[in-house]
Amino acid sequence: MIRGRVWKYGKNVDTDAIYPARYLVYFEPAEVAKHAMEDIDPDFLSKAKPGDILVAETNFGTGSAREQAAMTLKFAGIGAVLADSFNRCFYRNAINNALPVLSMRGISQQIDEGDDVEIDLEHGRIIDHTSGKEFQAAPMPELLQKILAANGAIAYYRAHPAKIAEPVKSAGAACVGESCRE
């Protein structure tokens, strides 16, 4: 279950803000985890607890392809990121590292800093226990849910060595709505 306290951020939170370029040389999880949100919120690691949830406006993760931006949040124990929209590469990196991400237009205006929020990824349901409101996002495409459930793309691929996914040949079957940002 994903449930935690909300930390809110604005629009266009870029990868330099999430994980500054000066630490690009590091890939070890313990080191990568030390620099989460360092340039946008220097107190982040001292205040956020494992399982907490980030809620951001549009275009979260814009900027570079650096996977450390997703890894640092995962390794720092963040439970999920909700945003009005995501940068596509950050979105892929998050899924590949089993960091749950869900997008829904307008969600950042509905949830307040400090709220206690629960997320049901399979059904795209978001429950704000503080305000009592519930929101319905488009469920994540099945393939991406499988990658998350396998704890990341490498584990998923190893369990499915022939192919990462069966090509979906029927028109439009794979993706509906805002949650679908490869």
Partner 1 sequence: MGMTIVEKILARNASLDRVIPGQIVEARVDVVMLHDIGTPGIQRPFRELGTGKIADHVRCVIVPDHYVPAPTVQAAENLKLTREWAQSMGVEYYYEPGRGGISHQIMIEQGHCLPGQIIVAPDSHATTYGACGALGTGLGVTDTAIALGTGQLWFQVPETVKVELTGELSPYVSAKDIALYLLREFGEDELIYKAIEIAGPATERLTFDDRACIANMALEMGVKTCLFIPDAETLSRLRQYRQNVPDPVRPDANAKYAHVAFIDVSLIPPMVAAPHSPSNGKQISEVVGTRIHQAFLGSCTNGRIEDLRVAARIIKGRSVHSGARMIVTPASQKTYKQAIAEGLIQIFLDAGALVTNPGCGVCIGGHLGLIAKDEVCISSSNRNFIGRMGSRQGQIYLASPAVVAASALAGEIADPRSIEEN
Q: Which secondary structure element, helix H or strand E, spans residue 18, and what is its range?
A: helix 15-18
Only segment of 8-16, 43-51, 109-117, 127-135 that touches partner 1 (CB under 8 A): 8-16
Q: How many Å apart are CA 39 and CA 16, to the nearest integer?
A: 7
**Backbone conformation region of residue 30, classed left if phi is above 0, alpha if psi is from -120 to 50, else beta:** alpha
Subset of residues 54 to 83 that bind partner 1, contact rule: CB under 8 A:
58-59, 62-67, 70
Residue with smaller CB distance to partner 1, 149 or 154: 154
Q: Which of 100, 105, 167, 106 has its CA nearest to residue 140?
A: 100
Helix ranges (DSSP H) in 51-175: 68-75, 88-96, 107-110, 142-149, 153-159
DSSP 14: B
Residue with smaller CB distance to partner 1, 30 or 171: 171
Query: What size, in residues, is the chain?
Result: 182
Please, are residues 119 and 78 in contact by the beta-carbon 8 Å criterion?
no
Subset of residues 95 to 124 that bind partner 1, contact rule: CB under 8 A:
96-97
- By CB under 8 A, is residue 145 in contact with partner 1? no
Q: Smallest distance from the beta carbon of 55 to partner 1, in angstroms?
A: 16
Strand partners, 7: 54
Side chain identity, residue 146 = K
Site string for partner 1, 22-51 (x = CB under 8 A): x-xxxx-----------xx-----------
Interface residue with partner 1 among 7, 19, 86, 135 (CB under 8 A) is: 86
Q: Which residues bind partner 1 (CB under 8 A)?
A: 11-12, 14, 16-17, 20-22, 24-27, 39-40, 58-59, 62-67, 70, 85-89, 92-93, 96-97, 141, 143, 152-155, 157-158, 163-169, 171-176, 180-182
